[in-house]
Chain A
Amino acid sequence: MLRGARGKQQVQVTKRSWNVVVFSIGGIKLAARTEDVGGVSPWTESIPVPSRTPFVQAMLKRENHVMPVYDLAARLSRTLIGSPLLCLVARHLDGPMAICIDADMPSLETVDATAIRSNGSEDIETHGTVTIAGNDVAIVALQRLGRSTQNIVTR
């Protein structure tokens, strides 16, 4: 009898590859999972907000919406390159967050999940590092960006 056999034949699909967006900040190549990226658009001037939260000291206004800006370039001690700069919207756990990135248009890549290596330095929240076009690229965990710096004392 064939009935019921189908269930046994179900194959568990495991995610073997990750789709990532590769972007750059101050010339450093970084990546983010595509599902963590809300979009990329031209950067518009941000509005400074008095704040003591590390790297969260501005807001971006888009029509009737505002979102906080995360200064990833400052965290990485890099100066952004090119013009016009771009805005990458991170789908952060606390809500959308704007990140200013280099003018280089981000690209889409597919990486083998088994090729992702854990990141030893932990300078920044990542899912690990992967080699793309011969370069080691950190996959930034946009969802939890900034959470490990919450205890940094400023001023």
Chain B
Amino acid sequence: MSLRGHHNSTNLPVETASFLVIRLGDSYVALPAEGVRGVLTQEEAGNEQAVTSAGTIFQPVDLAQRLSLVAHLSGLEFRTVLYSTGRSHSAIGAEQVIGLTEVERKDCFPLPPQFQRDERNWFQGMMLYQEQLVLILNPLWVLGESADVVPAPLEQGREMVAATPARIGESC
């Protein structure tokens, strides 16, 4: 006797990645969440350049300056993001912390190949979050573990960059 209508459901694992989305001026950028060690208010961070937390010294990183962005880093919503790769530790100023988000890796897409220069090292990809285009930062570059170098010649996808990228996992 068969059990009509009874199906073995196969739940395929969905690959996801988590990001902390921050705003610098008009630009939205994201940091892979696994490196976030804390988010401090201006008061909590203090006036010193470096921030010490749980015995670790986080050196200041001015992302806005490195990305040539005009940001107002003295507003009420200013936060200091403590970020670490394990080897390096940085205190990153953010004009505003937008939020933590989890996205399916298929929803991250690469920077279009027309972007040819240092930005390919700055950003590992892009995603859409709350209707905003968010650039996913390369944490190694943020923490100074990767120099500004122009990557090898590009042979990425030549299709319109859509929310259905071909290279899952490469961008986030």
Contacts and interface: CB of A to CB of B under 8 A. Distances in A.
Contacts, number: 75
A99 B172 CA distance: 28
Q: Which of A48, A68, A92, A94 has the most CB of B within 10 A?
A: A94
A110 interface: no
Interface string B120-160: 00100010100001010000000000000000001001111
B119 A50 contact: yes
Contacts of A70: 114
Q: Which of B115, B118, B154 has the most CB of A within 10 A?
A: B115
B124 to A, nearest CB: 14
Contacts of B133: 47, 59, 61, 66
A53 interface: yes
Nearest to A146: B114
A56 B114 contact: yes
Interface residues on A, range: 20 to 34
A53 B114 contact: yes
A121 interface: no
B163 interface: yes
B69 A50 contact: yes
Interface of B: 26-27, 67-69, 109, 112-119, 122, 126, 128, 133, 135, 154, 157-163
